[in-house]
């Protein structure tokens, strides 16, 4: 019961944040974003409480989501304190990277891994990270001094998705890993939009802001829901 109530509150908080972000922005938008992000943590807490058999999995997921909230704050401060934007961008990268490491740890705490699934997921993630660098010029982006961290972050982000994909295949599409894969895929698509907003000209539009955050919050709420699906 609490899970579904908190999920509904989270959806309303996300819609409220999107309205604040595109109409006012600034510190008010940051406050609204923090509340929306707090909601996906609350959903994860409710899911962990309801599915206590997978406490290790839920704990890792929770810590990853907390890192997501902190990453959200740093990235929004980038727009408010423009003079320190590079520092806030690095901080955002770092906290989201740690968050995805937590998601990967959660997967390996509950997933049916072996040497084959590990190697294939790593190779696929490396391929995606290489593609991210190769599309820089075709997409008219300029990573500049952030190229290395973009590569490493994309690799770790993609590894969350490819690991979930391999576990999904091995378990014959168990709902837990299907949900985890969908959440990770939404996260990857969100960051693809965000890359254009950060590293290309004239792409920080209201449409992209809404698209990026819609994909992002769908991803985080979906990942939080994975805890409930753990079996």
Q: What is the pLDDT of residues 4-15, one digit of tens each?
A: 999 999 999 999
Cα 55 vs. chain centroid, distance in angstroms? 21
Is pLDDT at 152 greater than 90 in this prediction? yes
Q: What interhelical angle do 175-199 and 85-110 show, nearest 10?
A: 170
141 in helix, strand or coil?
Answer: strand
**Statement: residue 25 has pLDDT above 80:** no
- Which token pair is 96? 């989201």
pLDDT at 51: 93
Q: Distance between CA 40 and CA 185 in Å, rounded? A: 17
What percent of the chain shows pLDDT beyond 90? Answer: 88
CA atoms within 13 A on the CB side of 114: 4
Between 114-118, 126-130, 204-208, 209-213, the lowest mean confidence (pLDDT) is in: 204-208
Rg of the chain over Cα atoms, rounded to whole angstroms, equals 17
- Give 42-96 pLDDT, tens digit per residue: 999 999 999 999 999 999 999 999 999 999 999 988 888 888 999 999 999 999 9
pTM for this model (two decimals): 0.95
pLDDT at 191: 97
To the nearest 10°, report the CA torsion of 60, 125, 176, 104: -10
């Amino acid at each position: 019961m609490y899970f579904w109530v908190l999920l509904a509150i989270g959806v309303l908080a996300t819609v409220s944040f999107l309205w604040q972000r595109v109409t006012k922005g600034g510190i008010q938008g940051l406050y609204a974003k923090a509340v929306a992000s707090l909601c996906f943590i609350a959903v994860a807490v409710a899911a962990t409480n309801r599915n206590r058999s997978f406490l290790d999995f839920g704990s890792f997921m929770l810590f990853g989501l907390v890192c997501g909230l902190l990453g959200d704050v740093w990235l929004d401060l980038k727009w408010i304190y423009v003079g320190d934007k590079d520092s806030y961008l690095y901080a955002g990268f770092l906290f989201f990277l740690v968050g995805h490491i937590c998601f990967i740890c959660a997967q390996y705490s509950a997933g049916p891994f072996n040497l084959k699934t590990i190697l294939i997921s790593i190779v696929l993630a490396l391929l995606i990270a290489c593609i991210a660098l190769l599309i820089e010029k075709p997409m008219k982006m300029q990573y500049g001094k952030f190229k290395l961290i973009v590569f490493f972050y994309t690799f770790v982000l993609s590894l969350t998705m490819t690991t979930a994909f391999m576990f999904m295949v091995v378990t014959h599409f168990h709902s837990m890993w299907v949900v985890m894969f969908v959440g990770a895929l939404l996260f990857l698509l969100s960051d693809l939009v965000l890359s254009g907003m950060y590293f290309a000209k004239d792409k920080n539009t209201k449409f992209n802001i809404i698209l990026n955050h819609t994909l992002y919050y769908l991803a985080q709420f979906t990942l939080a829901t994975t805890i409930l699906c753990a079996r």
